[in-house]
Structure 1
Amino acid sequence: MSTTARLRDAGRHPPAPLSVQLDGEPLTIQQWLRVLPGKRLVGQGEWQDQRVLAKLFIATGAERHWQRESAGIQALQRAGQPTPDLLASGDLPGGGYYLLTEFLAGSQSLQQCWDQLADTGLGSPAATAILEEALQAIAAMHKQGLAQTDLHLGNFLQHEQQIYVIDGDAIEVTDPGKPLRQSAVKTNLALFFAQLEPQWDKQIDSLLQSYLVINPLPELDREQLNAAIRAERQRRLDDFLSKTLRDCSQFAVTKTFQRYSVVLRSEQEALAPLLADPDSVFTGIPLLKDGGSSTVTRATIGGRDVVIKRYNIKGLGHWLKRFWRPSRAWHSWLAGWRLSFLGIATPQPLAMIERRIGLLRREAWLITEYCPGQNLLEHLGEAGDAIPVKQTADAMLRTFKQLAEARISHGDFKATNLLWYDGRVVLIDLDAMQAHGNDAKWPKAWAKDRVRFVRNWPADSKLAMWLDDRLPR
């Protein structure tokens, strides 16, 4: 069997180390950095006594991607944009293609730099500096007629005080050597800004100054740019939510006639016993909730605490109402990931299981991280005789503002469904959460949430009056 065929068959676990003969010269892959099963592999290796980054294109019909990668790197080099040098490129023995570039030892992507920050909120000097570095590199590409169509911080490397652009496959060339048209600039910038939390929209004018220093433009239509950012954010959110329900690098999905399950791939091994028998944790330990429609418990799995919520079927009548539509576990799984995507704190969803008969749903389970926080009724006091301290006040108002901007209603805004943990307000119990978009029902749903939250405290209390005055209407 050829090396390419073996790599295709290996799926998500290609062998390493791996030696491949490239025109008589051995390439030794020591570590795989990214695996797209049966399509493309990216690894760190050694070739001709130097460290290289190797991309192996192993899918049938991969020639187009290989050619685009090579053409994109060459376009960046012609434009004077720093990018790792292209060292070799050609056919893999047994089918497929390879491409080798220099390995920038000690480099970090701007995404890695961002993830290491203690504060990525609006106005953070370190976060602002990272965004400005990215925008300067984007401006340099735009000035030369290039656009990175997979524009995110992970595609910029910081190495020895220099920013390098990577992923040649996503480089689009329009008119080499001439600046991009303003419409193309707007589209590409919207792609970049849409990946930031909406709070950063207030800083766009300031951030753009670093772009305009490199690529001076007539004034951008900010209204059009804002509309493009909103549209791109919605597209990214829709794409991500669909990804949470299919087998991919981040999620593992199993479908049979009798069940459907999805689990965060990084948690698949640790949660395997629980996925096999989710009811096993509901016996012998105290339950957090034992209601008719749902039962909730907490368990320690793989050395950490998780919460398991079982959505029960109370009888035939209840089943007839539920079997034909996605379960409440399915709904809560998507709701949790929606909040996570939008930067709104909620315990991370880890897995979801539906028991089925073909396409007909029965009981379902949702597994999430356990949040040890104190609920807001306890944190703020039931009497409501004092307004919250600044840290709590800012966090509460920010959470409500985020929900309002995203047009999300919780549906059951009891103070016990909001936890105070690590300086943030954490939302739980997402069964009734709805994302309204342009739905005319949104104002009524939001008003109901707002009233329900304020009603947690006596109407004449300082806290209730403070909330009624400050929460978004």
Structure 2
Amino acid sequence: MTLTAELQQSGREPALPLRLPLGEGTELCVEQWLRVLPGKRLVARARQGERTVLLKLFVAAGAARHSQRELAGVEVLREQGVRTPVLLAEGEIEGGGRYLISEFLVDANSLQQRWDALASRQPGDPQAMALLGQALALIGDMHSKGLVQTDLHLGNFLLQADQLYVIDGDAVEAQTPGQPLTAEAAQQNLAIFFAQLPSEWDELTELLLIDYLQHNPIALNPDTLAASIEKVRHRRQEDYLGKSLRDCTLFSVKRTWWRFAASVRTQTQRLSALLSDPNQCFIGQSLLKDGGSSTVVKVESEQGDLVVKRYNIKSLGHWLSRFWRPSRAWHSWLAAHRLQFLGISTPAPLAMIERRFGPLRRQAWLITEFCAGENLLEYFGEEGGREPNEEEAAALLGLFERLRRSRISHGDCKATNLLWHAGNVVLIDLDAMQQHDSNGSTWIKAWETDRARFIRNWPTDSLLAQWLEDRLPGSAV
């Protein structure tokens, strides 16, 4: 079997160390896989003699084409004076694959790593603004030279000392090399960048563009850019939700005639016993909830406690009303990942299982992290005898504003379905959650229903109910 064939069949964790012959008696030793797209592309840290290098392996059927695209992207960056790691060598792997070797930027961090390490990523935070400004300055420089990075995210910028580099050459296109992009092309590319920020940052778009415009002073239409950002953000959200239902880098999905199981890939080993038999945890355990339609149990784990929710089939009639559509576990799985994508707090969804007979659904289970928070009815008290303090007010109003901005209705906005935990309000019980497509009457009615139901948790004349009535948005538009 050729080396290319071996790599195509090596799965997500190819064996290490791997030795790659380079000709003339030399070889390269792979020390660590940095990214693996099974059967397609592998990125690794490797050693060539005494030097550490970055290795990209292309092993799919179109290896030569993908390798050439990467080469072309690196070359056009170099020609236009945009920093990118130096390409050291390229060649063919036994069996038809291709390799590229470039310099390894020691002690470099991606801007995504820097972003994740920030103490605060709230809109307007000076450190967050400065980091985004660095990226936008380089994007402006690229646009002024006719270049676009089609996979535009913070992970494709590496910072070494004070120097910022662009990586991932196969996503670099020279649309008008040496000449500025048109305003429309620049705007579409910028929308990809801004759409990856939480929607709370949208109000600062024009302020952030100052760094960009210093390098590419063109006329941008704020309204058109805002519409483009919303469109891209929605597309990214739907792409992410689609990934949660198929086997990919982020998720492990197993589908047979008898069952469907999806789990966060990094949690699959931890959950292996539950994925194999989710009913085992209900035996001899005290339940958090024992209702007709669902049963909920807390499962203790060394890596953090879990909650398993089983969606029951109460009768033949109940099954006949549900077997032909996605289960409530399926709906809650997607709802939780939707909230996480939008930056809205909810216990992390880890796995979802459906028992099936072909396309027909039966019992289903949802597994999430356990949240130790106190529900808001207990936290504020049933009498609602006080107003929220500054921290509580910011968390409550922030949650409802994010829900409103994303046109999300919870569907069962009881105070017991909102938890106070570590300074945040956390949403649970997402069975009836819905994201609405427009600001039409259906959304407005759902929003007003949620708002009224939440306030109704406390007596009308209580301090808390009056505070909520005055401050929660009264209209969805």
TM-score per shorter chain, which class?
over 0.9
Counterparts of residues 103-142 of structure 1 (less than 5 Å): 103-142=104-143
| 1:20 alignment partner in structure 2 | 20
What are the Cα deviations for residues 94-139 of structure 1, in whole angstroms up to 9, with x where unaligned?
2110011100010000000011112101111111111000001101
1: distance between equivalents of 2:425 and 2:29? 49
Structure 2: distance between partners of 1:360 and 1:254 = 16
TM-score (norm 2): 0.98
> 2:279 & 2:237 partners in 1: Cα distance?
32
Q: Mark the runs of 5 or more structure 1 residues left unpaired by the alignment.
A: none
| Structure-2 separation of matches of 1:61 and 1:337 | 33
User: Match for residue 160 of structure 1?
Assistant: 161
1:251 aligns with 2:229: no
Q: Check the 8 A contact 2:63/2:96 in 1, yes or no.
A: no
* Alpha-carbon distance in 2 for matches of 1:340, 1:304: 19
Letter in 1 for 2:424: R
Q: Report the equivalent of 1:80.
A: 81
State the Cα RMSD in Å: 0.9
* TM-score of the aligned structures, taking structure 1 as reference length: 0.99
Q: What does 1:178-327 align with in structure 2 at a 5 Å threshold? A: 178-218=179-219, 220-327=220-327
**Which ranges in structure 2 are unaligned for 5 or more consecutive residues?**
none
1:48 CA displacement? 4.4
For residues 416 and 13 of structure 2, what CA distance do their matches in structure 1 show?
Answer: 44
Q: For residue 7 of structure 2, what is the aligned residue in structure 1?
A: 7
Secondary structure, aligned partner of 1:288: strand
Identity of aligned residues (%): 56
Q: How far does the alpha carbon of each residue in 1:387-417 deviate from its partner, in whole angstroms, 9 at most, with x for none?
A: 1001000110010000001000000000010
Task: Give the deviation of 1:160 after TM superposition.
Answer: 1.3
Contact 2:45 2:55 in 1 (8 A): yes
Q: Could you tell me which amino acid in structure 1 is paired with residue 264 of structure 2?
A: L
How far apart are the structure 2 equivalents of 1:15 and 1:278? 32
Matching residue's letter, 1:452: R
Provide the C-alpha distance between the structure 1 equivalents of 2:319 and 2:257, rounded to a whole number of angstroms.
18
User: What amino acid sits opposite 1:200 in the alignment?
Assistant: W
Letter in 1 for 2:286: P
- TM-superposed CA distance for 1:84, in Å, is 0.3
> Do 1:35 and 1:41's aligned partners in 2 also have CA atoms closer than 8 Å?
yes
Which secondary structure state, in structure 1, belongs to the residue aligned with residue 173 of structure 2? strand
2:354 corresponds in structure 1 to: 354
Q: Deviations over 1:232-284 (max 9, x none)?
A: 00000010100100000110000111100001000011100011110001011
Question: 2:227 & 2:395 partners in 1: Cα distance?
Answer: 27
Q: Residue in 1 aligned with 2:90?
A: 89
Give aligned pairs, total: 472
- Cα distance in 2 between the residues matched to 1:385 and 1:421: 20
Partner amino acid, structure 2, of 1:6: E
| Local SS of the residue matching 1:201 | helix
Do the aligned residues in 2 keep the contact of 1:411 with 1:445 (CA within 8 Å)?
Answer: yes
Asked whether the 8 Å contact 1:87–1:101 carries over to 2, the reply is yes
1:174 is matched with 175
Aligned to 1:331: 331
Give secondary structure in 1 for the equivalent of 2:271: helix
1:52-99: per-residue Cα shift (whole Å, max 9, x none)?
100000011222211110100111111111110011112112211001
Residue 302 of structure 1, CA deviation: 4.4
* Counterpart Cα distance in 2 of 1:6 and 1:120: 43
What secondary structure sits across from 1:7 in the alignment?
Answer: helix
Tell me if structure 2 keeps the 8 A contact 1:271–1:302.
no
